[in-house]
Amino acid sequence: MPKLTIDGKEVDAGANLNLIQAAELVGIEIPQYCYHPGLTIVGNCRMCLVEVEKAPKLQIACNTRVAEGMVVHTKSDKARTAQKAVLEFLLINHPIDCPVCDQAGECKLQDYYMDYDQQPSRFPLPEKNHKGKAIDIGSGVMLDQERCILCARCTRFFDEVTKTSELAIFERGDHNRIDINPGQPVNNKYAGNVVDICPVGALTEKEFRFRMRVWYLHRTASVCGGCERGCAIDIHHHRGRIYRFKPRFNPGVNSYWMCDEGRHSFPALQNETRLTSPLVQSKDQLVTEPWGEGIRRAASIIADYRRRYGPNSIAAVVDAQSTNEEAFALKQLMKTAIGSDRIATLSWSPPGASGDDDLLIRANKNPNARGLAALAIPADGLDGLAAAVASGELKMLIAMRADLVRALGEEEFVRRFGALDYMLVLSSDANETCQMANQVWPIAAYPEIDGSFTNFKGRVQRINAAFPPPGAAIAAIEAIARLGHALDGVDRPSSADAVFASMTAAEPAFKGLSLATLGEHGADLAS
Amino acid sequence: MERILTRWLDIPDLRKLDVYVGNGGYKALRKALFDMKPEEIINEVKNSNLRGRGGAAFPTGVKWSFIPKDSKKPVYLCCNADESEPGTFANRYELELDPHGIIEGIAITCRAVGAHIAYTYLRGEFTVQKRILDAAIAEAYASNYLGKNILGSGFDLDVFTHRGAGAYICGEETGLLESLEGKRAYPRNRPPFPAIQGAFGCPTVVNNVETLANVPHIINRGADWYKSIGPEKSPGPKIFCLSGHVNKPGLYELPMGFPLKDLIYDVGGGILDGKALKGVIPGGSSFPIFTAEEAVKVNMDFESVRAAGSLMGTAGVMVMHEDTCMVDALKTIAHFYHHESCGQCTPCREGCGWIEKLVTEIEAGRGKMEDLKVLIDAASNMEGNTICVLADSLSMPVKSFVPKYRDEFEAHIKLGRCPFKDRDGKAGGLSAAAGH
């Protein structure tokens, strides 16, 4: 392990680290544009020039490996002069259109100008080079060539990560411009990543443009619910609305990236169809009722069925969109408060959805299919439930997040489950299954709750509540706890941490884990 | 002095194989194949103190010795024939008039470093030169100076020629390698150096045409003979490209260390129209200019030129007499580097254009006094801060022209026009302007 000194601080660095990474270890930020840890090093921006003792010239930190005894100065006069100069060069032909630029507020040109430059322009505005603006390059990405600093992060992403090379640099010198090949727009399921890694406002997202100033956005760490990969994300939100998903680095899951399907999956989480009140079927119509009445009604129906037909007349279907905690809480409720062992998983992906690819996208569009399997909730239990309905043993169904009508088709649903006496549906949205239900409980969507998902490789990752659910909707685990209490008077845990704790005690697969210690990268299942 | 590199002046049709062989050609290759081990070839060239003729003056034998001895990957030689430095035109004639001298140099070098494939990268405009070289290569194959089992030695070598598409940066050795690989000629970060990871990720030697042309002579006549020509640290014959305001511009083969004054006034026949000398760029447009006083004191070898504050580069000697507008000259240089910057590194991409704009404004009489400081600042900030030395190639002229001819720059700014032109913009001269 080489020991070196950066700005007077001793650093014990890994042998393969570059100076940017080594400096990070002791909390020193070396400014950078072209360097990205997920891409090869090109060293073209020259922003990370630092002074290395005994080297004849300033060195770029990104392409300089640590070495024993190296003495590095990132803030010496020479380094500062070079860093300030690079910013001056970068801004010569930059349009300085921050007031109308979506990147403003998260722009490395702005940030570093304040940190390293702060001098008035010495270049007359009318002489700036002009290039293309607001070019729709495809896949929802907009290009402004004048704002571009030619760091080549985007071209490297398409060259190295997706290996599709849709973008290239054309012309030369200060006429250089990023562009698509003529007539070949970007058509790439990962295109949004080039917007993320663009350090300036050259690449922006069509859907996000002009929607929100980024300094109003709050970030909440979460996991994309778009498929069983479970890419780590940050939810960017403001006043209870999600404005965008951004990938969050997780080396064991998604590296720095996410797919565009996942990226654009958030509008479905805040549709007009969101349920805001408990509902009950009355004269062929769903009408609202207070939670208290809904809980009491469901509890008395369950008690009634248990008495008349036995506990196995009641079953539950848990959708693989549910969190580990939701699934475990419902499984426990079925076992302890109802005494039924009838529980099944619905793990359904819409027909025509994208299949597995070599990068991130998975055909199974559920974020927690593996979690339900780890909780031993049978994946093929639906047929058994249908048979029990047919034989008259099964009378009541509790469906959590499971849109059975959409998954099976209305005809098939009616054929299999039409004979049920009673259906309680816990759902975030008013879907077709709700229309068939006797009772509907509005529950929080995953951006609104704490909890965890287990991805297809068994990595358990934490999700966090970004904001409260709409209206009277509550977290599903809270609804389950209240129902349980109404059934047997026992207090059940209703916070995600507490449910997780009982889960690790009861479920061998989750042994040794705790929600608090999952960290930003999550942890693998015990088995 | 005996002409070594420019033997073609004495031997008609040297480019033909039979004439070349009849004049001792490919003797050095036989020696290298049958009488010398690869290490012995490298040592001979090391001892000769031959230094790269492409501009950087790196010791050639040392460069060869960086190639790993036990490389599991193939080793390549790239002959750099992308001659593009303004004021430089020696390689062009070497390719036209002595192609076998280059091929023999390539073959010996390949034997020394263990390469079995050599590429010659020619600048895009070298269409005729490529045809001539290709014909010579075909002749060499036919007589088994190239190909399989050369002259029965068991050594195989294939030589390919590749023509660029017309960018200055393709002459930078790693830009050349990128271009050779079919990519945009963006120079590479070093390390890794080409000797470890060059063409197609394999160990590669990149040598200039003239460097390689020296090799057969060193093998034939030995390092000591070679060192006896010119100063010991940078010895050998050198082809000087003399251009500008001299009576006899052209190519002159002279020993290293030849006085610049004699090159201009004796060999070059003196200044055009008997005018006074104003400045000389000694090594191609990339390097600091000498004033007349400095120029007449310099000897033309790497050490002496460096000691005098410039670099010998490719020995493209550009002479400017008293009627030259130095602002205009710098504008021309700035235009070239602005046009040729690949645009990869920020300081060069933005700085070259900035400098051209500033100098253009000053030349047009629209400059301000503070522009002179900005010019020096921009040039200083480019220098040494980029992947390759193209930025330095404009920085050095700026940082020498401005202080050395500051009165001319200031005259443009004060007069609001070029003092070398009359009010209608027609060329006149400083003396004519003085009357206004």
pLDDT, tens digit (0-9, with 9 covering 90-100), for B125-180: 999 999 999 999 999 999 999 999 999 999 999 999 999 998 999 999 999 999 99
Residue of B nearest to A48 (CA): B385
pLDDT at A11 over 70: yes
- What is the pLDDT at residue A516? 85
Within a 10 A sphere around the Cβ of A490, how many other Cβ atoms? 10
CATH number for the domain that contains residue B244: 3.10.20.600
Co-location of B274 and B176 in the same domain: no
Angle between helices B326-340 and B406-415 (to 10 degrees): 100
E strand or H helix that includes residue B107: helix B99-113
CATH number for the domain that contains residue B76: 3.40.50.11540
CA nearest B355: which of B390, B325, B323?
Answer: B390
Residues of B in contact with A63 (CB under 8 A): 189
CA nearest B121: which of B84, B69, B156, B72?
Answer: B84
Co-location of B261 and B333 in the same domain: no
pLDDT at B425 over 70: no
Co-location of B187 and B280 in the same domain: no
Residues of A in contact with B349 (CB under 8 A): 89, 150, 173-174, 176
pLDDT at A102 over 60: yes
Q: Cα(A41)–Cα(A412) distance, rounded to whole angstroms?
A: 55
- Angle among Cα A365, A367, A369 to the nearest 5 degrees reads 90
State the nearest Cα–Cα gap between A121 and chain B, in angstroms.
Answer: 11
DSSP secondary structure, B34-82, as one string: II--HHHHHHHHHHHT-B-TTTT--BHHHHHHTS-TT-SS--EEEEEE-
pLDDT at B204 over 90: yes
pTM for the full predicted model: 0.94
- What is the pLDDT at residue A517? 84
Which segments of chain A belong to CATH 3.40.50.740? 279-524
Residue of B nearest to A43 (CA): B189
DSSP secondary structure, A41-107, as one string: ----S-TTEEEETT-SS-EEGGG-B--TT-EEESSSHHHHHHHHHHHHHHHHS----GGG-TTTTS-
- What is the pLDDT at residue B433? 39
Residues in chain B, total: 436
Kindly determine whether residue A85 and residue B345, on different chains, have CB atoms separated by under 8 Å. no
Residue of A nearest to B339 (CA): A173
Mean pLDDT of A425-446: 97
Within a 10 A sphere around the Cβ of A186, how many other Cβ atoms? 20
State the nearest Cα–Cα gap between A173 and chain B, in angstroms.
Answer: 4
Per-residue confidence band for B426, with pLDDT thresholds at 50, 70 and 90: low
Question: Which residues span the domain enclosing B396?
Answer: 326-434
Residues of B in contact with A127 (CB under 8 A): 357
**Which one of B178, B189, B350 makes the best mutation probe of the A interface by having the most chain A beta carbons within 10 Å?**
B350
Kindly determine whether residue B341 and residue A41, on different chains, have CB atoms separated by under 8 Å. no
Parallel, antiparallel or unpaired: strands B316-321 and A523-524: unpaired
Which segments of chain A belong to CATH 3.10.20.740? 3-90
Q: What is the DSSP letter of A127?
A: G
B394 contacts chain A (CB < 8 A): no
Co-location of B253 and B219 in the same domain: no
CATH number for the domain that contains residue B400: 1.20.1440.230
* Position B232 in a domain: no
Cis peptide bond upstream of B216, omega within 30: no
B379 contacts chain A (CB < 8 A): no
Co-location of B30 and B161 in the same domain: yes
B182 contacts chain A (CB < 8 A): no
Kindly determine whether residue B354 and residue A44, on different chains, have CB atoms separated by under 8 Å. no
Tens of pLDDT, residue by residue over A335-361, are: 999 999 999 999 999 999 999 999 999
Residues of A in contact with B165 (CB under 8 A): none
Kindly determine whether residue B341 and residue A173, on different chains, have CB atoms separated by under 8 Å. yes
Residues of B in contact with A57 (CB under 8 A): 384-385
B170 contacts chain A (CB < 8 A): no
* Position B255 in a domain: yes
Co-location of B257 and B354 in the same domain: no
pLDDT more than 70, % of chain A: 100
Q: What is the DSSP letter of A338?
A: I
Two tokens at A433? 């299954």
Distance of CA A101 to the CA centre of its chain: 25
Co-location of B208 and B267 in the same domain: no
Q: Which of B347, B353, B384 sits opposite A173 (nearest CB)?
A: B353
Helix, coil or strand: residue B279: strand
Per-residue confidence band for B430, with pLDDT thresholds at 50, 70 and 90: very low
Co-location of B303 and B340 in the same domain: no
* Position B18 in a domain: yes
Mean pLDDT of A142-165: 98
Instruction: Look up residue A270 and give its amino acid.
Output: Q
Residue A125 vs residue A291, higher pLDDT: A291
Distances (CA, A) of B276 to B244, B246, B321, B323: 13, 11, 6, 9
Q: Which residues contact B334 (CB under 8 A, 6 or more apart)?
A: B352, B355, B356, B359, B360, B394, B397, B398
Residues of A in contact with B387 (CB under 8 A): 43-44
Mean pLDDT of B273-286: 97
Q: Cα(A437)–Cα(A346) distance, rounded to whole angstroms?
A: 17
pLDDT at B435 over 50: no
Q: Which of B227, B251, B283 is the last residue of a domain?
A: B227
Co-location of B188 and B260 in the same domain: no
Residue of A nearest to B188 (CA): A42
pLDDT at A103 over 90: yes
Kindly determine whether residue B350 and residue A81, on different chains, have CB atoms separated by under 8 Å. no
Co-location of B52 and B90 in the same domain: yes
**Which one of B344, B386, B394 makes the best mutation probe of the A interface by having the most chain A beta carbons within 10 Å?**
B344
* Position B242 in a domain: yes
- What is the pLDDT at residue B436? 34
Which segments of chain A belong to CATH 3.30.70.20? 96-105+124-270
Two tokens at B242? 């003399």
Q: Cα(A323)–Cα(A326) distance, rounded to whole angstroms?
A: 5
Two tokens at A435? 């229309």
pLDDT at B428 over 90: no
* Position B274 in a domain: yes
Per-residue confidence band for B70, with pLDDT thresholds at 50, 70 and 90: confident
The architecture (CATH level 2) of A3-90 comes to: Roll (3.10)
B188 contacts chain A (CB < 8 A): no
Lowest mean pLDDT among A87-91, A394-398, A514-518, B230-234: A514-518
- What are phi and psi for residue A52, nearest 5 degrees? -115, 120
- What is the pLDDT at residue B271? 98
Co-location of B128 and B250 in the same domain: no
Residue of A nearest to B192 (CA): A63
What's the number of domains chain B is made of?
A: 3
* Position B131 in a domain: yes
* Position B2 in a domain: no
**Which one of A19, A44, A108 makes the best mutation probe of the B interface by having the most chain B beta carbons within 10 Å?**
A44
Q: Which of B177, B195, B227 is the last residue of a domain?
A: B227
B168 contacts chain A (CB < 8 A): no
Tens of pLDDT, residue by residue over A113-132, are: 999 999 999 988 778 999 99
Kindly determine whether residue B353 and residue A88, on different chains, have CB atoms separated by under 8 Å. no
pLDDT at B431 over 60: no
Per-residue confidence band for B423, with pLDDT thresholds at 50, 70 and 90: low
Query: Any idea which residue has 């009165």 for tokens?
Result: B407
- What are phi and psi for residue B327, nearest 5 degrees? -70, -45
CA nearest A55: which of A34, A73, A32?
Answer: A73
Two tokens at A28? 């020193």
Determine contact, residues A194/A188, Cβ cutoff 8 Å: no
CATH of domain A96-105+124-270: 3.30.70.20
* Position B1 in a domain: no
CA nearest B100: which of B68, B64, B145, B53?
Answer: B145
- What is the pLDDT at residue B239? 98
Co-location of B315 and B330 in the same domain: no
Residue of B nearest to A151 (CA): B344
pLDDT, chain A, mean: 96
Q: Which CATH class is domain A279-524?
A: alpha beta
pLDDT at B118 over 60: yes
Q: Which of B321, B349, B383 is the last residue of a domain?
A: B321
- What is the pLDDT at residue A234? 98
pLDDT at A202 over 90: yes
Distances (CA, A) of B358 to B128, B352, B353, B362: 38, 10, 9, 6
Within a 10 A sphere around the Cβ of B228, how many other Cβ atoms? 13
State the nearest Cα–Cα gap between A174 and chain B, in angstroms.
Answer: 5
